[in-house]
Amino acid sequence: MRLMNHALRAFLGRFVVVYFDDILVYSKSLDEHIDHLHCVLTVLRKEKLYANLKKCSFCLDKVVFLGFVVGAKGIAVHEEKVKVIKEWPTPKSITEVRSFHGLASFYRRFVKDFNTLAAPLTEIVKKSMGFKWGSEQDRAFIEIKERLCGAPLLALPDFSKTFEIECYASGIGIKAVLMQEKRPIAYFSEKLNGAALNYPTYDKELYTLVRALETWQHYLWPKEFVIHTDHESLKHLKGQGKLNRRHAQWMEFIETFPYVIKYKQGKENIVADALSRRYALISTLNAKLLGFEYVKELYVNDDDFASVFAARDKAAFGKFYRLDGYLVRENRLCVPNSSMRELLVREAHGGGLMGHFGVRKTLDVLHEHFFWPKMKRDVERVCFRCVTCRQAKSRVLPHGLYTPLPVPSAPWVDISMDFVLGLPRSQKGRDSIFVVVDRFSKMAHFISCHKTNDATHIADLFFREIVRLHGVPRSIVSDRDVKFLSYFWKVLWGKLGTKLLFSTTCHPQTDGQTEVVNRTLSTLLRTIIQKNLKNWEDCLPFIEFAYNRSVRSTTNFSPFEIVYGFNPLTPLDL
């Protein structure tokens, strides 16, 4: 099998499936199929691999492969296997029950509620139970045979279309259906055992979702999908202030998927809520934010925007207008009242390129792109409940006041420098951060270094990371660090016409700008670093971007915008 996979690796997943020495070539049209066959046979000839012509079949509209009948319309049960199941006599021993149960289980994906139906048979194959064939076992045996003989035609998955999952939970079992365009692709069911039988209804519904995602994760991870549930409280899981250990473990797994949940009440689908996931916001090379297609469906019944959406059906009015099915207010997308709002707030607050900043800066990020009533209230709620912020941020006030320095007139003309020391040694062996701040724009660069680096090494870092991007500064503010007091350091900048300003002894507050940045840097490190403290160096690019992208209260602009004239894109811009 390794040889076959290696020889045909260029075609796998495109139009070839290989299982040991069986090669299946699939195509959408006859002409395309001929081209695919030519490619495969050419490779086989080149690798000197030979096929048995008597065992080959070409240009078929359906084929038997691995016990299934695969055709253009979908996947079906093999007729010969169905005939065997239909004529299977009533089992007389545990061995015969296991044989039937094994064959039936092979086609369980075709039978809805298979595990619940087969529960009586499953019980008697246990070693502790012994063989006991009663009326329950006989009903289950007959029901499974009838279901398999009339098994539905399952659709083939189309990865260009949206997958849908329906989940159900009962007292003794759970079940789920994987679908596309209301056509079933596979069924899943499981009999509950042990502690799971005592789960409350809410936990059973959530467990059903977890088991379905585990079973079909290879279908669901690449693209956004929809989950249908008749349990309304699942919509509000993210609104809980606290999660118990079991829920937290399940949610950690669920949030790795790009999904949207739809509450199903009776025969009607009410509203679609985009549940939160922190990562996986970017899909394919054409990046876009997932979940926004479903926003269009929510405007009609939304309490905040329904009347405005209906009024703006044809033309713009006031600050609102329609664009590609979305409602827009002053170039900002209107977000209906759904958990999509919480998703956006969490991304703006603690996303991969954000920095767990406070309410004001999080609100500034959201105001650039989105609009909904009472946005500040939602931001305050998320920031207040953020566990990472509570653990990482200090409430100690700074000691004393900072002495103001002359205000610069242009970016990267007057800068300040300092070092953050005493960090754990990173995987690359570095234990300090060289901090350089532009006093005009407040832009900062965080450069990892060694505590033992002398003036020569620091000068090299400065030229490589600062002069390369911004040129040579006119003045530098620094405290009395050994690296800055080095004779070589002073002579070097003297030749460049730079005048060093030194703060007074025991008063690093004189260099107030860098001291503030150092404190912010420390907070960002604590919020972004995960369990492995040695990863702090890998986090520096994220921290630097978050710091320079956030709006400063002194200027009402971000450092990026002051220096470059525009703000760089974040996942929220996509």
pLDDT at 239: 56
Q: Does a structural domain hold residue 404?
A: no
Unique residue bearing structure tokens 């005939």: 83
* pLDDT band at residue 199 under the 50/70/90 scheme: confident
The answer to whether 439 and 433 are in contact (CB under 8 A) is no
pLDDT at 445: 92
Q: Are residues 553 and 429 in the same domain?
A: yes
Q: Are residues 368 and 499 in the same domain?
A: no
Q: Does a structural domain hold residue 333?
A: yes
User: Most confidently modeled of 28-32, 67-71, 443-447?
Assistant: 443-447
Half-sphere exposure of 78 (CA within 13 A, CB side): 14
pLDDT at 533 over 50: yes
Q: Are residues 301 and 192 in the same domain?
A: no
Tell me which residue range forms the domain holding 360: 272-392
pLDDT at 282 over 70: no
Residue range 76-105, pLDDT digits in tens:
877 777 777 777 888 888 888 888 878 777
Q: Which of 15-24, 183-192, 378-387, 531-540 has the lowest mean pLDDT?
A: 531-540
Q: How far apart are CA 108 and CA 114, in angstroms?
A: 6
Q: Does a structural domain hold residue 572?
A: no
Task: Give the CATH number, domain containing residue 97.
Answer: 3.30.70.270
More confident residue, 278 or 489: 489
Q: How far apart are CA 172 and CA 73, in angstroms?
A: 34
Task: Give the CATH number, domain containing residue 247.
Answer: 3.30.420.10
Q: How far apart are CA 479 and CA 419, in angstroms?
A: 9
pLDDT at 279: 27
Q: Which of 501, 476, 511 is nearest to 404 (CA)?
A: 511
Q: Which of 144-153, 358-367, 429-438, 461-470 has the lowest mean pLDDT?
A: 144-153
Task: Give the CATH number, domain containing residue 331.
Answer: 1.10.340.70
Q: Does a structural domain hold residue 571?
A: no
Average pLDDT value for residue range 436-443: 88
Q: Look at residues 242, 265, 288 and tell me which one is the last residue of a structural domain.
A: 265
Residue range 398-412, pLDDT digits in tens:
555 556 677 788 898
Q: Does a structural domain hold residue 181?
A: yes
Residue range 153-192, pLDDT digits in tens:
778 788 788 888 888 787 778 888 888 887 888 888 887 8
Q: How many domains does the chain have?
A: 5
More confident residue, 343 or 433: 433
Q: How far apart are CA 187 and CA 111, in angstroms?
A: 6
pLDDT at 503 over 50: no
Q: Are residues 84 and 41 in the same domain?
A: no
State percent of the chain over pLDDT 90: 2
pLDDT at 540: 86
pLDDT at 432 over 70: yes
Q: Are residues 11 and 126 in the same domain?
A: no
pLDDT at 490 over 80: no
Question: DSSP H helical segments within 255-397, as ranges?
Answer: 295-298, 306-311, 339-350, 359-367, 375-385, 387-392
Q: Are residues 436 and 542 in the same domain?
A: yes
Q: How far apart are CA 561 and CA 226, in angstroms?
A: 38
Q: Are residues 43 and 139 in the same domain?
A: no
Q: Classify 483 as helix, strand or coil.
A: helix
**Phi, psi angles (nearest 5°) of residue 284:** 65, 180
Average confidence score pLDDT of the chain? 76
Q: Are residues 371 and 418 in the same domain?
A: no
- Measured CA distances, 98 to 102, 129, 249 (Å): 6, 14, 35
The answer to whether 172 and 192 are in contact (CB under 8 A) is yes
Q: Which of 8-22, 175-189, 238-252, 326-340 has the lowest mean pLDDT?
A: 238-252
- Measured CA distances, 14 to 4, 5, 76, 157 (Å): 15, 13, 22, 14
Average pLDDT value for residue range 369-397: 80
More confident residue, 86 or 38: 38
Instruction: Copy the structure tokens of residue 440.
Output: 């005009």
pLDDT at 455: 72
Instruction: Copy the structure tokens of residue 84.
Output: 């065997």
Average pLDDT value for residue range 111-123: 77
pLDDT at 132 over 70: yes
pLDDT at 454 over 60: yes
pTM over 0.75: no
pLDDT at 487 over 60: no
Q: Are residues 435 and 453 in the same domain?
A: yes
